[in-house]
Amino acid sequence: MTIQARDLVQLVETPKEHAADTLAQRGGIEGIAHALNVSLEQGLDDNDTADLEAREVQFGKNFIEPEAPQTILQLMWQAFQDLTIMILTGAGVISLVLGFIPFPESTKKHNRMLSTGGDSSTAWIEGASILFAVLIVVFVTAINDYQKEKQFRALNAVKEDEKIKVIRNGVPAEVSK
């Protein structure tokens, strides 16, 4: 094979208005087929595995690796970036901290909002409840996004399994793209 992968990439990426000239410079379709050491009538030989492997080494697979799916932790971090969740987290932390701060008895009598029902031993529960609710919302959102992404990938895999028509051993065939 006297043609390189970069030459084929250049040929494919040539703007439409210059494509015919670029193809003609390479000898047309027949010239490209000759450079690839392939017959236009017979196509590739399915039985010549060494040739097929050499072509795969030289030109690569006709496949683009999909991006790795996001992890649950990444999706949880994205869900946490919501402004409402951040505000609730801040309120929960403040409430939790205030629940653990011991206030003098005189302050508690005048301001019952500093503790839950006047009992300072349970004042932290409000803040913990807010943080627990935030955690549940973030986790459920991440799980939901993960399932949506999984379904999207499955649908995309079916769509991407496109068949193309080729000639192998002189016989028209269909192979996955």
Residue 164 phi/psi, 5° resolution?
Answer: -120, 150
- 123-136 average pLDDT score: 93
> Is residue 156 within 8 Å of residue 123, measured between CB atoms?
no
Full-model pTM: 0.58
Alpha carbons 176 and 13: distance in angstroms, whole number? 22
Question: Which pLDDT belongs to residue 142?
Answer: 97
Q: What value does the mean pLDDT of the chain take? A: 83
> Is residue 138 within 8 Å of residue 93, measured between CB atoms?
no
- Distance of alpha carbon 167 from its chain centroid, rounded? 34
Question: Which pLDDT belongs to residue 106?
Answer: 56
Alpha carbons 68 and 165: distance in angstroms, whole number? 30
Question: Which pLDDT belongs to residue 115?
Answer: 47
Place of tokens 């402004």: 83
> How many CB atoms are located within 10 Å of the residue 79 CB?
19
Alpha carbons 104 and 175: distance in angstroms, whole number? 80
43: β partners: 39
| pLDDT higher than 80, residue 118 | no
pLDDT digits (tens, 9 = 90+) for 33-60: 888 888 888 888 778 888 888 888 888 7
Question: Which pLDDT belongs to residue 148?
Answer: 96
Q: Domain ranges for the chain, please list them.
A: 5-61, 72-159
Alpha carbons 18 and 25: distance in angstroms, whole number? 11
Alpha carbons 114 and 107: distance in angstroms, whole number? 9
